Amino acid sequence: MIKKLYPILVLVLIVTLGVSACQAKPQSTEAPRGLSLPQSPLLAMLERKSGLITYVGDDGNIYVVNQSGTNPLQITKDAKLTQANFRRYFFPTWSHDSKSVAFYSVSAKNQADLKSSIFTVGSDGKNLVETFTSNARLPVYLSWSPDSKSLSFITSTDGSNSMMLSTVPSSGGTAQTVDVGSPYYWDWQPDSRGILIHTGGATEQDKSARLSFLSLTDGVVEDRLGLSPSFFQTPDLSPDGSQMILATNQDGKKSIVLADRTGRVQKTIEEVAGSAAFSWSPDGKRVAYIASTQAQNIVRGKLNFYDVAKGTKVTADQDKISAFFWSPDSKQAVYFAIVQEPVTTPTPSKGTPAPTPEDQPAPETQLYLKMYITDVTSGRSTLLARFVPTRDFFQLIQFFDQYARSGTIWAPDGQNLVVAAQMSDSQGVFLVPSSGNTEPRFLQGGAMAFWSWK
């Protein structure tokens, strides 16, 4: 299986770096593009800095930089983006105390010599530690424990369709196999003593699909919940760990539900015809969710904000939403709509014969993301940017509910966001002001970026 992935990985490298109760009904404030003010060159130097950004550069290495985008700290220096002998680093992830970054690498001298590694490093570039390495297991996703002492990760395994969930001390040590399943999604308990897992997909398609708590304090002890998962990816525990949001299929009724730690359903938030994705607000007062009308890998639908205490709902004023991320203060959310639009072709010059209808090729299309910000109490939204995502960023959108458990694109002060995109004739990492009053600003060339939590 690993050997089969090798050509795909090389293609990913080339494509990535060559360009992923009561309801309010507000009015949209989507404005024509071009009304935002250009960024002043001095703004990057004078504005107040908030946290740090880690990103994969366009050379395949890991970097750390502040929001000015100047003088980035290069963490790794040995990436090679050649087909025969390559090494590339992926998805840097901040620890919750924002003192360290974890990331993984894939390297190979040839098709028979594939190696993967997981690293941690201080935000200052010091104390680089290889915490895990394998010639048979390929990392897919990393997630820090809330106490920033451990890493959890899943790997694909040669000769198997299953994913293996493991944990390892962030300072290095022996990796512990925790569970096996496919597909595999999870959320850490706030006390770092266990993990809430969902594996096997929906019971409508796989009777072995399950929802469980895995205690990690004394070996691995599984406490299976008496609920059947429906079409969703990642479960979510409330910030205090006392409740969880799930999508279940109970007696043929598919719903997004609020349950306690034992799996007892406390509230049905909404019945769902297809797939769903959801996330608690940082303050634990609301749940945001998207409910698709069909069971599909990428959710697409309205974005709703459910007040847990009041049992009321506000809906954002745009539809066909596929991903969202809460602001640090829980008052706003940024969300993304996937659009496919024709590529503009040049107008033929005078004297050039116009092609006949049968000679005209089918129009080419391009995938774009529309990025909005909305107030969660009114649902009123503003368009922040429209761009072509890098392959890595589009992967973030596809699996946003899992990546939102381990990373953020928001600055700690909520004033800016970071995306990896092609826009304004540049490709790389961009800072997007959450006010919508100024245009996005190019920071550095790169494929993927995350902001620190603090």
Find out whether 39 and 418 touch, Cβ atoms under 8 Å: no
Torsions phi, psi of 11, nearest 5?
-60, -40
Least Cα distance to 118 among 128, 126, 108 occurs for: 128
Average pLDDT for residues 308-333, to the nearest whole number?
A: 97
SS3 percent helix, strand, coil of the chain, rounded to 5, is 5, 45, 45
Question: pLDDT exceeding 70 applies to what percent of the chain?
Answer: 85
Could you tell me if 259 and 237 are in contact, meaning their C-beta atoms sit under 8 angstroms apart? no
Give residue-wise pLDDT tens across range 250-296.
888 999 999 999 999 999 999 999 999 999 999 999 999 999 998 88
More confident residue, 106 or 110: 106
| Number of helices (H), then strands (E), in the chain | 4, 33
Mean pLDDT of 75-98: 94
- List pLDDT tens digits, range 46-74: 778 899 999 999 999 999 999 999 999 99
Query: Is it the case that residue 26 has pLDDT exceeding 70?
Result: no
Query: CA 289, CA 318: separation in Å to the nearest integer?
Result: 14
Cα 371 from Cα 288, distance rounded (Å): 17
The residues that bridge with 332 in the sheet, in sequence order, are 375
CATH class of 2-19+24-31+52-343+365-451: mainly beta
Residue 83: CB partners within 8 Å, gap ≥ 6? Answer: 10
State both tokens at 30. Answer: 């989507």
pLDDT at residue 47, as a whole number: 79
Spatial distance between the Cα atoms of 361 and 338, rounded to a whole number of angstroms: 24
**SS3 for 230?**
coil
Q: Which helix (H) or strand (E) holds 394?
A: helix 391-398
Of the pLDDT bands very low, low, confident and very high (cuts 50, 70, 90), residue 123 is very high
Q: What is the mean pLDDT of the chain?
A: 88
Report pTM: 0.87
pLDDT at 39 over 80: no
Would you say residue 348 has pLDDT above 70?
no
The whole-angstrom separation of Cα 409 and Cα 390 is 15
Closest to 408 measured CA to CA, from 330, 317, 302, 305? 330
Q: Are 178 and 212 in contact (CB under 8 A)?
A: no
How confident is the model over 320-325, as a mean pLDDT? 97
End-to-end CA distance of the chain: 39
With beta carbons less than 8 A apart as the criterion, state whether 376 and 286 touch. yes
Task: Please name the helix (run of DSSP H) or strand (run of DSSP E) that holds residue 180, with its range, or none.
Answer: strand 176-181
How far, in Å, are 68, 179, 306, 385, 429 from residue 165 at the CA level?
37, 5, 32, 36, 30
Cα–Cα separations (whole angstroms), residue 96 to 128, 132, 284? 18, 20, 17
Q: What is the reported pLDDT for 36?
A: 59
pLDDT in tens, 377-431: 999 999 999 999 999 999 999 999 999 999 999 999 999 999 999 998 899 999 9
User: 182 pLDDT band (50/70/90 cuts)?
Assistant: very high
Burial of 106 (0-12, 13-18, 19+ CB in 10 A): buried
> Residue ranges per domain, the chain?
2-19+24-31+52-343+365-451
CA dihedral over 95, 97, 100, 101, signed as positive or negative:
positive
H/E run at residue 73: strand 73-74
pLDDT digits (tens, 9 = 90+) for 108-121: 887 678 899 999 99
In this structure, what token pair is assigned to residue 292? 């698709």
Among residues 120, 82, 86, the alpha carbon closest in space to that of 101 is found at 120
In this structure, the chain runs to a length of 454
